[in-house]
Amino acid sequence: MTRPEDLSCPLPLSDHDTVQLAHGAGGRLTGELIARHLLPRFGNPLLDRLEDQAVLEAPGGRLAMTTDTFVVSPLEFPGGDIGDLAVNGTVNDLAMGGARPLYLTVALVLEEGLPLAQLDRILDSMAAAARRAGVQVVAGDTKVVDRGHGDGLYVNTTGLGVVPDGLSLGADRLRPGDAVLLSGSVADHGMAVLATREELSFRATIRSDTAPLHELAAALLDACPPGAVRALRDPTRGGLAATLNEFAAAAGAGIAVEESAVPVHDDVRAACEILGIDPLAVANEGKLVAVVDAAAAGDALAALRAHPLGREAARIGEVTAEHPGLVTLRTPLGVERILEMPLGLQLPRIC
């Protein structure tokens, strides 16, 4: 034993204001990062064991599993940050399968030099979002990449939920005549991020809509007879245009949308017009698209509107036998045009 006199002396904790490469190397600094910054926010008996895996009691029935990495730039924007965005995004992907979200894993890629105070703000936001959604963080990982790489912070969240017995949702279940519902206004999230990133003058008024949709989805499913809700999806990257095109392609059916029925906030519409951006192709992080049996559409819409996250819900179109695989949009002037799948260049790095 080289230094027996030191054995009872706790090693001094290091004191850094920013992320160091050594925080990601698996040694003492990694342990400090976990103990000081992560466990105080996310701790629970499953996570606190700090084994390399969490062991969970299986809830029985079918499980839903989904993963998403968030690379949004900037990390903080009006209405949210990469932290609540990452929790809500994965909660929403579970909820769109009709699942009750239960468990999350959180994997961080930190850039050397990220201020720890900023990391703490974002972790607080993640923890609050997890509490709000009723999910436990059961496992995590932290890596650090060199300064100049990684944009401060990338966050992967992977979620596990339980799917109620008998529930089956999917784009392959769409039938001609079904109604297409949208839970609220589009393009708020993408335009809030873009406005912040580009320091545009209208950025003060536009806020991200990031929110957990599991309660809204559950309220909708509760309000409809079994089987009447065909499919749910949250129109994130690629916006409403991408979601509807995915639905049409998977169903082998057409989807006809009434453009004037799609809610767009005035400030968002004005910003889109100035920048030449189609709000239907801009990402949302707190909205859902539901395709429901037309006979249940009234009850479904009422259930959405009764929830705080669905107050502006609208019936925006229907599934058609015509034009299989295509989404058609009827403009306020009565002209029909194809709403194409966005090529993808419009707005990168918004989630």
Name the residue type at position 174: L
Footprint (CB under 8 A) of a second copy, residues 316-335: 323, 326, 328, 335
Which of residues 53 and 308 has its CB atom nearest to a second copy in the complex?
A: 53
Q: Which of 19, 99, 187, 224 binds a second copy (CB under 8 A)?
A: 99
Least distance to a second copy, CB of residue 238, Å: 3
Q: Which residues pair with 18 in a beta bridge?
A: 115
Q: Which residue has the tokens 């009234």?
A: 298
Q: Residue 182: helix, strand or coil by DSSP?
A: strand
Pair 205, 284: CB distance under 8 Å:
no
Query: Distance between CA atoms of 200 and 78, rounded to whole angstroms?
Result: 13
Least distance to a second copy, CB of residue 112, Å: 9
Which of residues 118 and 158 has its CB atom nearest to a second copy in the complex?
A: 158
Q: Which of 133, 272, 313, 347 binds a second copy (CB under 8 A)?
A: 347
The 152-181 site mask, x for binding a second copy (CB under 8 A), equals: --x-x-xxxxxx-----xxxx---------
Which of residues 149 and 311 has its CB atom nearest to a second copy in the complex?
A: 149
Query: Distance between CA atoms of 251 and 319, rounded to whole angstroms?
Result: 9
Query: Distance between CA atoms of 150 and 71, rounded to whole angstroms?
Result: 9
Pair 323, 253: CB distance under 8 Å:
no
**Quick one: which of 243, 245, 255, 247 has its CA closest to 320?**
255
Stretch that binds a second copy, among 36-44, 80-88, 105-113, 309-317 (CB under 8 A): 105-113
Q: Residue 18: helix, strand or coil by DSSP?
A: strand
**Quick one: which of 116, 109, 141 has its CA closest to 14?**
116
Name the residue type at position 66: T
- 212 touching a second copy, by CB under 8 A: no
| Residue 164 half-sphere exposure toward CB, CA atoms < 13 A | 12
Stretch that binds a second copy, among 124-132, 145-153, 195-203, 312-320 (CB under 8 A): 145-153
Query: Distance between CA atoms of 65 and 104, rounded to whole angstroms?
Result: 10
Footprint (CB under 8 A) of a second copy, residues 31-60: 31, 49-60
Which of residues 56 and 204 has its CB atom nearest to a second copy in the complex?
A: 56
Which of residues 65 and 306 has its CB atom nearest to a second copy in the complex?
A: 65
Which of residues 117 and 345 has its CB atom nearest to a second copy in the complex?
A: 345
Q: Which of 12, 148, 276, 332 binds a second copy (CB under 8 A)?
A: 148
Least distance to a second copy, CB of residue 298, Å: 26
